[in-house]
Amino acid sequence: MDATLEANSRWTIDIVNENDLVDLLPLLRAWSTLHGGRLAVMNDLYVDENYRGQDIADLFIAEYARRGREHSALCLTWHTSVDNKRAQAVYERNGGVKSTRWLDYSKPR
């Protein structure tokens, strides 16, 4: 795995297999008043269909959790679609816990 640090608030990890980019995942750092401290926020986790089932998502999650701890983040947090059961299984297998306390809202432009 080739890990790179990019800019001052965004990290990326590239996984390359024989010059083929398998995935690129950005991680943001944020402050949360709800959690009372720093968070590591995983905005996107997408693995090319040709590489699924090879535990690549597990590698990403483990690496970003490690980076979050390295930068004193209280936790690694992310969102996924309520109907994306495959992703939810990956997240739960990696220790992710669904929020029973908070709902997400957004307002279109």
pLDDT digits (tens, 9 = 90+) for 38-94: 999 987 787 878 888 888 889 888 988 988 898 899 999 988 999 999 999 999 999
| 37 Cβ neighbours under 8 A, 6+ residues apart | 31, 72, 73, 74
- For residue 90, the model assigns a pLDDT of 94
For each of the domains in the chain, give its residue range(s) and CATH number, in order of start. Answer: 2-93 (3.40.630.30)
- For residue 2, the model assigns a pLDDT of 46
For residues 30 and 38, is the Cβ–Cβ distance under 8 A? yes
Alpha-carbon distance of 32 to 61, in angstroms, equals 20
Residue 34: pLDDT above 80?
A: yes
pTM: 0.72
Highest mean pLDDT among 7-16, 24-33, 56-65, 90-99 belongs to 90-99
For residues 81 and 44, is the Cβ–Cβ distance under 8 A? no
Q: How much is the average pLDDT of 28-42?
A: 88
Q: How, if at all, do strands 37-42 and 20-32 pair?
A: antiparallel
pLDDT band per the 50, 70, 90 thresholds, residue 1: very low
- For residue 102, the model assigns a pLDDT of 82
Q: Where are the alpha helices (DSSP H) in 1-109?
A: 56-70, 85-93
